[in-house]
A and B are shown apart, each in its own frame.
Chain A
Amino acid sequence: MTVNITLLVVMGVLVAVGVYLILERSLTRVMLGLMMLANGANILLLATGGAAGLAPLYDADIPAGEYNDPLPQALILTSIVISFAVTAFMLGIIYRSWVLGRQDEVQDDIEDRRVANQPSFDAEDDTAIPVETTEFVTPEDADERPAAPKTRVRGQE
């Protein structure tokens, strides 16, 4: 199989630019990055078809090796349609995000922050259960135990 170096270089540049843009925080740039990435993938698919040849319309006189490989082109066509739909959707959602929040940036998840900042002590799970060694507690003993908020000592109520 012959490989077209120009196509590969273009593919590499597109993917590199795409990755760079995806790492930005601005949503529009992320979307442009995804488009670059999709185009890079399409060009790689095109490169897999080998050297350019004749249109793949069957003619008994032409030897099989002279035709172009039609399959990668069919794949590219499908993937162009798909990335078109996804780009349209992304544009819509970015516009919506701008309408709602007046900003074109990836936003933080508030719940994430809250979970990260919560104290490791949990009143429900981690409160120490006071030890009761005996059921027969004298009133003097019970008075000496102030740190037992939820314990009810039997016989005192």
Chain B
Amino acid sequence: MNAASLAPLAVVLPFLGAAFAFILIRRPVAQRTVAITTLALTLSVELLMLWSAWTQGVQAVFLGGWVPPFGISLVVDELSSLMLVISSAVSLAVLVYASGQGMADGDEDGPISIFHPTYLILVAGVSNAFLTGDLFNLYVGFEILLTASYVLMTMGGTGPRVRAGVTYVVVSVISSMLFLLSIAMIYAATGTINMADLAVKLAELDDSTQMILHLMLVVAFGIKAAVFPLSFWLPDSYPTAPAPVTAVFAGLLTKVGVYALIRTETLLFPGDRINTFLMIIALLTMVVGILGALAQIDIKRMLSFTLVSHIGYMVFGLAMSSVVGLGSTMYYVAHHITVQTSLFLVAGLIERRGGTSNMDRLGGMAKLSPLLAILYFVPAMNLAGIPPFSGFLGKLGLLQGGVDLATPVSYTLVIGSVVTSLLTLMAMARVWNRAFWRTPEDAEHPDPVLLASKPDGSTLRTSKYVTDKPTGRFSGRGTIHLLPKSMVGATMGLVALGVALTVFAGPLFQLSDQGARAMLERTPYIEAVLGTGAVQGVEQ
């Protein structure tokens, strides 16, 4: 028995958990337990799969016993299993954070009770998208996670969320329609939608047809991955959602798009047909994104712009189509999921402690909560690529790949990456200077909670001594914890995971290089699905 036969569990377990959580909708504690247990189980199954992919290479399982290319196959390789493990670990941390928030605020009923089932369905959709070896099933995976994300995005149905939700839904549906249209065209051209089979058959088409199909897929996935100029929806819609939701969206959803781009570029349409084009797009994504980030005053919006900007690095690595570039991209995606999610969780904590996420109105947080300052500082430096953190290692790999390539465009990209990295540092330092370092008195109209202290002068832990307006967020809710242990603990866990990516960078790079080599070779994937001997027609 190989661990790939566990692959369906990664999708089925969250779905079952969602069903149970839905039954327990009136019992919040039980619901929370079910959700967290489910994700922990899923994570352990995925760790087994990662180990198996690491030691034995690509494996496939055929659902319902249909022989490929008929039926749906799930494929476990280094890329998909690494993505699964990181995404499940991150979503587990975010779930603990969200549950902690729910418990601390005591809002046990109301529309929030659909949070847990919807969240688990989102995880199932993400797992399905990472695992599937079938183009239409990838579309279904996307739709599962998108439909769940529509619900999470508009949770509570307040004015700003509805406004942001409308944009988000329309843009997502348009990208899905483009994807569906390209699936139809690919099926018309080749007569198959199995990705391994497509890898063989697409190469037989004439070049202009390939080009059209290739570009349609790139545009469809580019919208989902928020690649410039298809990225404008993201900073508009993400920041209005609740903090844990934004965090998990930022970590996972765009990365599913990046994952799909990687598969398109390596498995379906290998070669360097649009590599230069992708590199220019990557440069624009980086620079335009980070310049947008520098203009923002709201921390969550600023983070959304850095998210767009750093997608550029992944596209850069992908466009090199070399082992170094692709391997670094794999590592960078893992790093970025962890770090970006932890930054959004910290932004949620800042908002909770300081009363706002507007950095002009914040100040003195380093003194109010040194732990929070550390929790911000570590991932912020990590994102900016300061040694010795994982962001530095990932960027180093990308720069090395760019220099190895030694074309004018790749050198421009190398310079662009370094500049973007410096500008990221600047954006991070702006938040640090304002929210953490200066005194609260320097802030413009600071929230009462920033200035309040206990009668004996020590710092606040709960909202007990805050004198709030009757319409304020603390009124009529009793005493609530400003920084509940479960929320801080979940954030700490995620920051620690980010640091662990640095500590275990050696083995991880080994894994990602091995994965990149297999992906560029393509035969392991195709043979795992179609059986040995299916690759005679494949050009290397």
Contact = CB atoms under 8 A, between A and B. Distances in A.
Classify chain B: how many residues form its interface, as a range.
35 or more
Given A38-B177, A101-B159, A48 B169 contact: no
B67 interface: no
A26 to B, nearest CB: 12
A35 B116 CA distance: 30
Contact of B177 (A34, A93, A101): A34
A123 to B, nearest CB: 9
Given A109-B236, A115-B297, A86 B187 contact: no
A34 B165 contact: no
B188 A124 contact: no
B505 interface: no
Contact of B150 (A40, A89, A100): A89
B187 A48 contact: yes
Contact of B184 (A48, A96, A114, A115): A48
Interface in B148-185: 150-151, 154, 157-159, 162-167, 169-170, 173-174, 177, 180-181, 183-185
B508 to A, nearest CB: 36
A97 interface: yes
B296 interface: yes
Contacts of A112: 236
Nearest to B163: A107
B112 interface: no
Nearest to B143: A82
Nearest to A83: B173
Interface string A85-104: 11001100110110011000
A78 B236 CA distance: 30
Contacts of B433: 124
B531 to A, nearest CB: 21
A6 to B, nearest CB: 16
Contact of A85 (B147, B295, B297): B147
Contacts of A124: 360, 433-434
B188 A97 contact: no
B169 A44 contact: no
Contacts of A72: 184, 187
A79 interface: yes
A17 B184 CA distance: 19
Nearest to A108: B163
Contact of B157 (A1, A30, A96): A96
B173 A34 contact: yes
Nearest to B358: A111
B181 A90 contact: no
A44 B181 contact: yes
Contact of B162 (A1, A15, A40, A100): A100
Classify chain A: how many residues form its interface, as a range.
35 or more
Given A75-B136, A78-B136, A41 B180 contact: yes
Count chain B CB atoms within 10 A of each CB in A78, A82, A107 and give the residue with the most: A82
Contacts of B295: 115, 118
A92 to B, nearest CB: 9
A9 interface: no
Contacts of A82: 140, 143, 147
B177 A41 contact: yes
Contact of A44 (B159, B162, B185): B185
B430 interface: yes
Nearest to B142: A82
Interface in B386-440: 430, 433-434
Nearest to B298: A111
Contacts of A40: 181
A65 B177 CA distance: 31
B301 interface: yes
Contact of B174 (A37, A45, A79): A37
Contacts of B184: 41, 44-45, 47-48, 72, 75
Contacts of B166: 27, 93-94, 97, 106-107
Interface string B111-140: 000000000000000000000000010011
A57 to B, nearest CB: 17
Contact of A79 (B180, B296, B297): B180
A86 B169 contact: yes
A111 B236 CA distance: 9
Contacts of B430: 125
Count chain A CB atoms within 10 A of each CB in B158, B181, B193, B298 and give the residue with the most: B181
Interface string B301-315: 100000000000000
B433 to A, nearest CB: 7
A109 B180 contact: no
Contact of A89 (B139, B163, B169, B301): B169
Nearest to B168: A93
B167 A106 contact: yes
A100 B159 contact: yes
Contacts of B140: 78, 82
Contacts of A44: 181, 184-185, 188
B177 A37 contact: yes
Contacts of A30: 170
A60 B169 CA distance: 48
A48 B187 CA distance: 7
Nearest to A38: B177
Contacts of B177: 34, 37-38, 41
B39 to A, nearest CB: 24
Given A86-B147, A93-B154, A75 B183 contact: yes
A111 B185 contact: no
Nearest to B426: A125
A48 B169 CA distance: 28
A106 B187 CA distance: 36
Interface string A1-31: 1000000000000010000001000010010
Given A89-B169, A115-B296, A115-B301, 9 more contacts: A37-B177, A41-B181, A45-B180, A75-B187, A82-B143, A100-B157, A107-B163, A118-B295, A124-B360
User: Ordered nearest first, which 10 A-B pairs have the shortest CB separation?
Assistant: A48-B188, A44-B184, A41-B180, A45-B184, A107-B163, A82-B143, A37-B177, A48-B187, A97-B162, A100-B159
20 contacts: A15-B181, A34-B170, A34-B174, A37-B173, A41-B180, A41-B184, A44-B184, A44-B185, A48-B185, A72-B184, A75-B136, A82-B140, A86-B169, A90-B173, A93-B150, A93-B166, A100-B157, A106-B167, A111-B239, A114-B297
